[in-house]
A and B are shown apart, each in its own frame.
With several copies, the nearest count.
Chain A
Amino acid sequence: MIQIIRDKININALLAAVADPAAGGIDIFIGTTRNHSDGKDVLELEYEAYQDMALPMMRQIADDAKERWGVMKIAVVHRIGKVPVGEASVAIAVSSAHRKEAFEACRYIIDTLKKTVPIWKKELFADGSKWVGERP
């Protein structure tokens, strides 16, 4: 289950996607939108993706993690469009025979996704908005 969606992320759907009777553990990471940034109140977040590139990259990252840690099933879902404060912008679930591998693979996936996958976040404030990330 590798998806970019505009609706609210359904954690139960991710859990169902990675469930496996041979799994001993599932690690899930959920990225949530924070209500402040550099001391300013964030009212809302908005995400944009280069979907045709982002989806295959997300699939590749999941495949790499599966091979490297020998985990069982992986789900990666990123939400785009407006995301209210406190709601999930990304969710990753990894099932594994043993918990160590589930934790490490899950962490690898979110770290790699944040560094490489072409998705952008805009913070909306009362007095304007700002794309997040290093800029000139």
Chain B
Amino acid sequence: MITISVKLFAGIKDIVGKDEVELSVADASPVAEALASLAENNPLLRPWKNHVRFAVNKIYVQPDHLLKSRDEVAIIPPVSGG
């Protein structure tokens, strides 16, 4: 298992009630596992699966991007800046 930090924003942050959580996941898990893992305990997160993007160490990555220990993951709901 590895430890990753997961940053949360906007609607997802509101559902979880925190802007950052630490997770333990299997080494070389796909980044999408960060959301799946949180959704296990929080059904409200499940419908978000197809509406978010992921970033690892501040760069957008595909959902199948593999994680390493200490990665900074961010779950990015649809952006609305500007």
Contact = CB atoms under 8 A, between A and B. Distances in A.
Interface in A69-99: 78, 89-90
A131 B11 contact: yes
Given A135-B11, A136-B51, A116 B79 contact: yes
Given A48-B10, A118-B9, A136-B48, A53 B81 contact: no
Interface residues of B, number: 22
A31 B82 contact: yes
Main SS class of interface, A: mixed
Contacts of B55: 50, 53, 118
A50 B74 contact: yes
A122 B13 CA distance: 13
A40 interface: no
B81 A122 contact: no
Interface residues on A, range: 20 to 34
6 contacts: A50-B58, A50-B76, A118-B81, A119-B81, A132-B80, A136-B51
Interface of B: 7, 9-11, 13-14, 47-48, 50-51, 55, 58-60, 74, 76-82
Interface of A: 31, 47-50, 52-54, 56, 78, 89-90, 110, 113-122, 131-136
